[in-house]
Structure 1
Amino acid sequence: MASCLPGILPPLDAAEALEVSMVQSVAGTLTGGRLTRTRPFRAPHHSASMAALTGGGLKVKPGEVSLAHLGVLFLDELPEFGRAVLDSLRQPLETGTVSVARANAHVTFPARVQLIAAMNPCRCGHLGDASLACARAPRCAADYQAKVSGPLLDRIDLHVDVAAVSAADLVLPPPAEGSAEVAGRVAAARAIQSARYAGQGVRTNAEADGPLLEAVATPDEAGRTLLAQAAAQMRLTARGYTRVLRTARTIADLAGVEQVGRVHVAEALSYRRRAAVN
């Protein structure tokens, strides 16, 4: 599923292709010296070091988070990564850049990525099946999920529980909607955002912040009321509140709606992080 995501994203435009190719050139991975037109997809192994993920080395080179710039960074088995390694992503996810400081160099690389992470609910992976779960359930789930820090989870906009796929599911007919149809909706939403932010140095809702975000994403009265109630009940951080606004704005764009409404806020809130297992 994660590897399909670049296929529904719009192709790189000329400026984006130049940015991606510059990173690849610095890393020595640019093929034939030609600009790349495909969005990057990087999936480092969970044994990757901090330098491999954020950049570094004797001759400082970009890491995986920069090689995925304007594309997808997929981290499978998220809790298996070192905690310090994962927490090194907090700044890049917030700012879209990563600064690598070494004794002989101080370099800033671009790192505007879509982070996709996958994890089992617990180490054995059978938390929801009493016949297969380990003897420590559900305590083992809390311990396993605690390996990922709260501030990192707070930077992930969509938390989705994916049910296990059975053998019977594999013989079902293909879905009615394929990647091409989804890509069409994404392209239409991106076109709306490109027109909205033209000349403001911002490409997408993910980059909007401060007064600009308030101007384009403030919900209607019903939406503001719901968001205020949820902020108190769900104990949203300031970062979480802002991310709900961005997500609601994007949901409205996908629906082709100019004003962010209560329904868009409600859907954005439904994707926020669930409470930890007790």
Structure 2
Amino acid sequence: MVASVYTVAFEGIEARTVEVQVQISSGLPAFTVVGLPDKAVSEARERVRAALSAIGLALPAERITVNLSPADLPKEGSHYDLPILLGILLAMETLPEDSLDEYFVLGELGLDASIRSVTGVLPAALQAGSMGRGLICPYANGAEAAWAASAEIVAPKDVLSLINHIRGSQHLDAPEPSLAEDTATYLDMRDIKGQESAKRALEIAAAGGHNVLMIGPPGAGKSMLASRMPSILPPLMATEALEVSMIASVAGELQGGKVSKVRPFRSPHHSASQPSIIGGGARAKPGEVSLAHGGVLFLDELPEFTRATLEALRQPLESGKAVIARVQAHVTYPARFQLIAAMNPCKCGYLDDEGLACNRAPKCALDYQGKISGPLYDRIDLHVEMGAVSARDLSLPTPREGSGDIAKRVANVRALQRKRYEALSTGDTILLNAHADGELLEKVATPDDAGRVLLLEAAETMRLTARGYHRVLRVARTIADMAGSEQVGKVHIAEALAFRRISPQAALAAVR
């Protein structure tokens, strides 16, 4: 007899159906798992053996063969433990033959027959619901699985209670979806004195989803401003929260199985490796760019990251996806994030201060800023040059306007954009000006005659690329939205151009 139990394998955040086939046949006692299992799957044999012993059962003294089909799809992770155990119980006729036909099963086994939490339960539950199936998962993951409203969720704490539920001698209540409370204490923009231009740039960035690069000497407030970005961003919408939580689930970072509406804010150290930023590793896990999906990726000391890592950012910034290539498959993770980057103008940081600058200035600035390639620089919408904060600025009274006031304006502008793009029926998930492109961008951001003339003149003078030209239009559209203007005008184009540096090399030549 061959018994079958269904589970999933993950390719990015997509769950692919895997059939766990179990055959018990005559022959010398053996327990073999085939179908491209990794080390964790192969070790399931010992966990299954111990779990069965804990509930008073034993493996039959026969040949047990477990096939994970399709056999050419790599199988990774410990969530195959429970489907393998249930497949064996079906083959032993301990469970009714068709009792698990309508379920996907995931779960890691403890030696005491407990069922322990695993990663990827949320995408598995959504896949199960889309196929009209239910899901059996660990109790600890029940809250996240319950967000798949169309799927029946069974979340047992241990194997014995699951067996009793299947047999009908015990009933397990369906878990309830749980939403994580926002208990974070946000830093307030009110703490920032001076740097009004940088504050304005961050508000524009938050309203339109634009990328920002802040360039200034040490102590200018770059990190302070970036750390306050979460305080002015609106919470995630339901669809966004679900997608962000799916990534966190696959990465094993969904705390307590609770979906959160708080936008991610990731701030990796500049010593981070390329796979940790972009994604990869032996199991092709999501990197920081994907964990920041729907939120902010803050890269402090941008030139200190390795050149390869910075160049690898170009594709996610352009496409909103991180593609990890492997010999056997290409794994794609969503990576639609806002890049907030900060850097000093040169290695010593004091390029514009003759008293503090090193004796290599301005040559050191050319070398330092040259670490940021033109194509990466071109993908950043807003370039903010910040000066040192004076003692006079610090002695000023605390600003009246705080993060709450800015957040209200940002939420209103984002609601306006969402309404606009939904009315245009674009057929995709464009919600912000930063994501508009091609014909759609021309439709929503065509400037008036005066604005067009200014933009054309600036494009020639500043030698803007086609990408730079379109990014100026996107920023101008956001500025117009903030001003309540239907038409992109000359004043909006002018402000967008003011936040557009020519290039690090050209700017350095101007300093000379």
Partner of 1:164: 388
Structure 2 residue aligned with 1:259: 487
Shift of 1:63: 0.3
2: distance between equivalents of 1:256 and 1:24? 36
Equivalent-residue separation in structure 1 for 2:227 and 2:306 (angstroms) = 23
Q: Distance in 2 between matches of 1:217 and 1:34?
A: 39
Partners of 1:269 and 1:160 in 2: how far apart?
11
Instruction: Work out whether 1:89 is the aligned partner of 2:306.
Output: no
1:144 maps to what in 2? 368
Identify the residue that residue 460 of structure 2 maps to in structure 1. Answer: 232
Matched residues, number: 278
| Structure-1 separation of matches of 2:286 and 2:243 | 13
Confirm or deny that 1:154 pairs with 2:385.
no
Counterpart residue type for residue 180 of structure 1: G
Report the counterpart of residue 12 of structure 1 in structure 2.
236
Please tell me whether the aligned partners of residues 153 and 273 of structure 1 are also in contact (alpha carbons under 8 angstroms): no
1:205 and 2:205 are equivalent in the alignment: no
Deviation (angstroms), 1:111: 0.7
**In the alignment, which residue of structure 1 is the partner of 2:472?**
244
Residues 74 and 117, structure 1, Cα contact 8 Å, conserved in 2: yes
Structure 2 CA distance for aligned equivalents of residues 221 and 125 of structure 1: 42
* Corresponding residue for residue 412 of structure 2: 188
Post-superposition shift, 1:143?
A: 1.0
8 Å contact from structure 1 (residues 139, 277) kept in 2: no
1: distance between equivalents of 2:406 and 2:349?
Answer: 30
Structure 2 unpaired stretches of 5+: 1-224
Counterpart of 1:229, as a letter, is E
Does 1:277 pair with 2:508?
yes
Which residue of the partner structure matches residue 122 of structure 1?
Answer: 346
The 2-side partners of 1:110 and 1:162 are apart by 32
Greater fraction of residues in helix: 1
State the one-letter code of the partner of 1:7. Answer: S
Separation in 1, partners of 2:256, 2:274: 29
Secondary structure, in 3 states, of the residue corresponding to 1:236? coil
| CA positional deviation for 1:166 | 4.2
Q: CA deviation at 1:167?
A: 5.0
1:9-39 deviation per Cα after TM superposition (whole angstroms, max 9, x unaligned): 1110100100110110111100111111100
Asked if 1:70 corresponds to 2:70, the answer is no
Who is 2:446 aligned against?
218
Q: Which one has a larger percent strand, Structure 1 or Structure 2?
A: 2
Pairwise CA distance, 1:97: 0.8
In structure 2, what is the equivalent of residue 98 of structure 1?
Answer: 322
The Cα shift of 1:165 comes to 2.8
Equivalents in 2 of 1:121, 1:129: separation in Å? Answer: 11
Identity %, equivalent residues: 67
Cα deviations across residues 37-91 of structure 1 (Å, max 9, x unaligned)?
A: 1000001111111101100011111000010001000000001001110010001
Q: Deviations over 1:204-231 (max 9, x none)?
A: 1111111111000000011111111111
3-state DSSP class of the match of 1:277?
helix
Query: SS at the partner of 1:197?
Result: helix
Q: 1:187-243: per-residue Cα shift (whole Å, max 9, x none)?
A: 111011011001422111111111111000000011111111111111110100110
Amino acid corresponding to residue 385 of structure 2 in structure 1: D
Partner Cα distance (1:244, 1:7) in 2 = 26
Q: Are 2:284 and 1:60 aligned?
A: yes
TM-score normalised according to structure 1 size: 0.97
**Counterparts of 1:217 and 1:79 in 2: how far apart (Å)?**
33
Cα displacement string for residues 235-274 of structure 1 (whole angstroms, at most 9, x for unaligned residues): 1101001101100000001111110000000111111124
Q: SS of the residue aligned with 2:508? A: coil
Given that 1:121 and 1:145 are in contact with CA atoms closer than 8 Å, whether structure 2 keeps it comes out as yes
- Deviation of 1:173 after TM superposition, in Å, equals 1.7
Question: How far is 1:172 from its partner?
Answer: 2.8
Q: Which residue of 1 aligns with 2:160?
A: none
What 5-or-longer segments of structure 1 have no aligned partner? Answer: none
**Letter of the 1:223 counterpart:** G
Amino acid at match of 2:257: G
> What do you get for the CA RMSD once the two structures are aligned?
1.1
The letter of the residue matching 1:276 is A
What amino acid is the match of 1:191?
A: A
SS at match of 1:160: strand
Is the Cα contact below 8 Å between 1:218 and 1:260 reproduced in 2?
Answer: yes
Structure 1 position 169, deviation (Å):
3.8
Larger Rg: 2
Please say if residues 142 and 276 of structure 1, whose CA atoms lie closer than 8 Å, have aligned partners that are also in contact.
no
Aligned equivalent of 1:113, options 318, 337, 360 = 337
